A and B are shown apart, each in its own frame.
Chain A
């Protein structure tokens, strides 16, 4: 269905934006098929398939940007939108700029074996039910299990007045399990949501029963837990989804959207020591089939592995095209968006702390009293102040170098630029976990990751005795 946007038509759209005022024009066409299935109590309650289809048109003049989108895709409507974008940029500039669109053949790194639409829905439901059964049977405390399945097949065409004309196909599949445990009228929940830039083969690659058990384990452990202690203490954060701390505390403040206008606490600090020397971190959208990967970003720029911090020194930012203009630095292929209804901006892809030297057991053994954050929940940050918060979904007390008892309801808060200075030990067990990251350009798939790390002190929000 993208065929109606052939080079001639796309050139006309881009030319219209330039003619009426822009010095750069971009087109993003998206045709996406999605499936959502929801299973509660072992029964499918909702089954929905759908199709999004629309175009986003963007123009720049200097470092000003105007964005518009529509899904009325008649030629007349699309050109009217393009004209409005150009006019909004102000100056009427009738000289016109010439450019040639060059079709780029992508070197695809993300091979899909089983396209979602080629798999029968009852087979998808079969896997969901296996995860459900495993979670439900894990413990008699499990009162409810909700399993959600989501896949999509997104076809995009991205073109701009610098000559880019590229198509890409992004397929993603995710299973999300929410288990609820109940005991003496108290309820606690556990979540696990593995996903990948893969087709349905992903559900054979992971063990869906183990995925169900993992969610159930968190719920069952936490319903037996006492409230976490409150106050400042040493915290060991487990690998994989624990990386949400770097994502929130540091990652967002390294996005051009907050750096370019000087809003970030990390603006102007390239080359400076911003973290403890044991910390190195990257954003890598090139990892084959990873949840946050893509061949090109949503501005048509090839993705890359960006070194953000190396041995504590700030090395790079995540930069989109507009950020590139404002900062005078090249795009890093970090322009992303939820869908065509959002203008792209600089975003993370798969962001993680690189492995260090310690065994996770050594790290725990080094703590006299503290919190072990085994499973993290989500979090958020204010990039202007660096203040972050995030939830510990499964926590344990560490006493005299040993994990002693489960604790619930802990939230970690702090300031990103302070916390990364306080990382004292980095483990050798790096792993990544999947999440949805929400920001200016919508909600997008992103991997977070890290090995087990020890932070000297963080404020733990818990209950007071």
Chain B
């Protein structure tokens, strides 16, 4: 059998769709990944790879059947599998394809800046971070990871949609473990669209300094505390919002924000947007996974809930415009952005006066329930007395309800930072007036 290329694969499937009298959409993605991990200065893992994947969706009478493949061998089977999957779909929801006629935001594709780096230059990132971390003799273990990736995506359908985009960037992180009665670990990372945006010295230094700061950590008495959720921790917690603002979840009774548009759901200092691009994020896209143009939108404005995020199906159901947030079969923001406040981190500490800065949470995937909003998470922190950090805090949990703490946001910091979650996030630190903490002391 003669190998075929994507264009021929697509043509075959379009012909089959026409024969069956159905619409079809093909999403093609091709990615290249590089990643290297060092433990204690020794190479532990090194991966350099690439792959492609094709997703086929067949639309008939408002129902979609899906199939994917990683070989171009057999377009007929891929089409028939997707077509046959329609027969078991019995939801009353009506699905649509997009014709590509809208206006797409002008977003510069990734220029492949990391592709030109040599292997040596890539290894240099982890080696520099490792050496920096080890400058202090109290560090007994360390790990450093560097990676970059580039991904091309293309969506075509029989309604005339034909869009493509290239995304990518690089990242690194370092973990340092300091010697103490029990070991103290800290973590630091960097992301960028250009190699010079990633500073391995800085990453290594911050991981080392924080691990050292945590030496002598103690637990605290159980009780209610004033806390700062540092930007990295707040980005984790804010991840709970992603599922709550998904219109499909609201329709299916899986979101506590159902029916709350126009209501005040958070402190008036709190404004959240979704952005197709932001200079602190490496995520950017002019269209969502259904090919619908992306756009900026306000989700929470001064504490008032403004909109759910939609794909084509949920938008039609609610009789609103799609928001360009389709994410596979789900819905997600592109860059969840929190409008910064006035105070820098030092000023937040002064405003906190006495309390705890939460610097790490563990267990988001198990201890946080976006349906109820309840969370209970393992945490680490820094005890603050009279606006000054006095010692590390270990072996505590923070517990609460996401929607309750949104009302208790007393201050929003100006220390915006970009993170990678499901997509991108750009988030500052926040001061919460009261949070339940369980401890050991």
Are the C-beta atoms of A189 and B363 separated by less than 8 Å? no
Q: Decide if A9 is an interface residue (CB 8 Å cutoff).
A: no
A404 contacts across to B, CB distance below 8 A: none
CB distance from B430 to the nearest CB of A (A): 20
Are the C-beta atoms of B91 and A51 separated by less than 8 Å? no
- Nearest CB in chain B to that of A43: its residue: B91
Q: Decide if B45 is an interface residue (CB 8 Å cutoff).
A: yes
Are the C-beta atoms of A413 and B46 separated by less than 8 Å? no
Q: Decide if A434 is an interface residue (CB 8 Å cutoff).
A: no
Are the C-beta atoms of A411 and B52 separated by less than 8 Å? no
Interface string of A188-228 (1 = CB under 8 A from B): 11000000000000000000000000000000000000011
Q: How far is the CA of A66 from the CA of B82 in the complex (A)?
A: 37
Supposing A44-B91, A385-B184 touch, asked if A461 and B44 sit within 8 A by C-beta, the answer is no
Supposing A69-B49, A459-B440 touch, asked if A231 and B222 sit within 8 A by C-beta, the answer is yes
Looking at B61-69, B108-116, B283-291, the stretch in contact with chain A turns out to be B61-69
Looking at A160-168, A261-269, A308-316, the stretch in contact with chain B turns out to be A261-269
A121 contacts across to B, CB distance below 8 A: 84-85, 87-88
Looking at A276-284, A288-296, A374-382, the stretch in contact with chain B turns out to be A374-382
Are the C-beta atoms of A144 and B254 separated by less than 8 Å? yes
Q: Decide if A50 is an interface residue (CB 8 Å cutoff).
A: yes
The secondary-structure label for the interface of chain A is strand
Interface string of A27-70 (1 = CB under 8 A from B): 00000000001101101111111111110000000011111111
Looking at A102-110, A327-335, A387-395, the stretch in contact with chain B turns out to be A387-395
Are the C-beta atoms of B68 and A65 separated by less than 8 Å? no
Q: How far is the CA of A214 from the CA of B317 in the complex (A)?
A: 33
Are the C-beta atoms of B376 and A410 separated by less than 8 Å? yes
Are the C-beta atoms of B371 and A53 separated by less than 8 Å? no
Residue of A46, A74, A182, A461 near B329 (CB, 8 A) is A46
Q: How far is the CA of A415 from the CA of B397 in the complex (A)?
A: 13
Q: Decide if A403 is an interface residue (CB 8 Å cutoff).
A: no
Supposing A48-B68, A462-B399 touch, asked if A389 and B377 sit within 8 A by C-beta, the answer is yes
Q: How far is the CA of A69 from the CA of B73 in the complex (A)?
A: 19
CB distance from B305 to the nearest CB of A (A): 15
B223 contacts across to A, CB distance below 8 A: 464
Are the C-beta atoms of B183 and A265 separated by less than 8 Å? yes
CB distance from B194 to the nearest CB of A (A): 24
B66 contacts across to A, CB distance below 8 A: 46-50
Q: Decide if B196 is an interface residue (CB 8 Å cutoff).
A: no
Q: How far is the CA of A265 from the CA of B87 in the complex (A)?
A: 53
Q: How far is the CA of A135 from the CA of B87 in the complex (A)?
A: 25
CB distance from A391 to the nearest CB of B (A): 4
Docked complex: B28-73 residues within 8 A CB-CB of A: 37, 39-40, 42-52, 64-71, 73
Residue of A378, A408, A460 near B366 (CB, 8 A) is A378
Are the C-beta atoms of B252 and A41 separated by less than 8 Å? yes
Are the C-beta atoms of A143 and B397 separated by less than 8 Å? no
B3 contacts across to A, CB distance below 8 A: 74
Size range of the interface on B?
A: 35 or more
Are the C-beta atoms of B395 and A459 separated by less than 8 Å? yes
Supposing A380-B366, A461-B398 touch, asked if A66 and B439 sit within 8 A by C-beta, the answer is no
Supposing A47-B85, A144-B252 touch, asked if A67 and B67 sit within 8 A by C-beta, the answer is no
Are the C-beta atoms of B183 and A390 separated by less than 8 Å? no
B48 contacts across to A, CB distance below 8 A: 66-68, 84-85, 88
Supposing A47-B88, A48-B68, A230-B438 touch, asked if A389 and B254 sit within 8 A by C-beta, the answer is no
Residue of A53, A125, A144 near B70 (CB, 8 A) is A53
A125 contacts across to B, CB distance below 8 A: 88
Are the C-beta atoms of B398 and A45 separated by less than 8 Å? no
Q: Decide if A414 is an interface residue (CB 8 Å cutoff).
A: yes
Residue among B3, B88, B119 with the highest chain A CB neighbour number at 10 A: B88
Are the C-beta atoms of B436 and A40 separated by less than 8 Å? no
CB distance from A274 to the nearest CB of B (A): 15
Residue of B47, B69, B365, B377 near A51 (CB, 8 A) is B69
Are the C-beta atoms of A68 and B49 separated by less than 8 Å? yes
Supposing A41-B252, A180-B253, A263-B141 touch, asked if A411 and B363 sit within 8 A by C-beta, the answer is yes
Are the C-beta atoms of A391 and B367 separated by less than 8 Å? yes
Are the C-beta atoms of A390 and B70 separated by less than 8 Å? no
Residue of B40, B92, B363 near A262 (CB, 8 A) is B40
Are the C-beta atoms of A71 and B371 separated by less than 8 Å? no
A460 contacts across to B, CB distance below 8 A: 397, 438
Q: Decide if A173 is an interface residue (CB 8 Å cutoff).
A: no
Residue among B378, B437, B439 with the highest chain A CB neighbour number at 10 A: B378
Q: How far is the CA of A384 from the CA of B133 in the complex (A)?
A: 15
Are the C-beta atoms of A384 and B141 separated by less than 8 Å? yes
Docked complex: A434-465 residues within 8 A CB-CB of B: 440, 459-464
Are the C-beta atoms of B85 and A65 separated by less than 8 Å? no
Additional A-B contact list (19), CB under 8 Å, known A51-B71, A51-B78, A391-B367? A49-B67, A50-B69, A67-B47, A68-B49, A72-B50, A84-B48, A122-B87, A182-B253, A189-B372, A230-B399, A261-B44, A262-B141, A377-B366, A380-B366, A389-B377, A391-B376, A460-B397, A462-B436, A462-B438
The 7 closest A-B pairs by CB, nearest first: A461-B397, A389-B378, A378-B366, A230-B438, A50-B68, A411-B376, A47-B85
**21 A-B pairs in the complex with CB atoms less than 8 angstroms apart:** A48-B85, A49-B85, A53-B70, A65-B46, A69-B51, A121-B88, A189-B371, A189-B372, A261-B39, A262-B141, A377-B367, A384-B143, A385-B182, A385-B183, A387-B395, A388-B362, A389-B366, A390-B366, A461-B367, A462-B438, A463-B400
Chain B positions within 8 Å of A, measured between CB atoms, are 3, 37, 39-40, 42-52, 64-71, 73, 78, 81-82, 84-93, 119, 141, 143, 175, 177, 182-185, 219, 222-224, 252-254, 256, 329, 362-363, 365-367, 369, 371-378, 394-400, 436-440
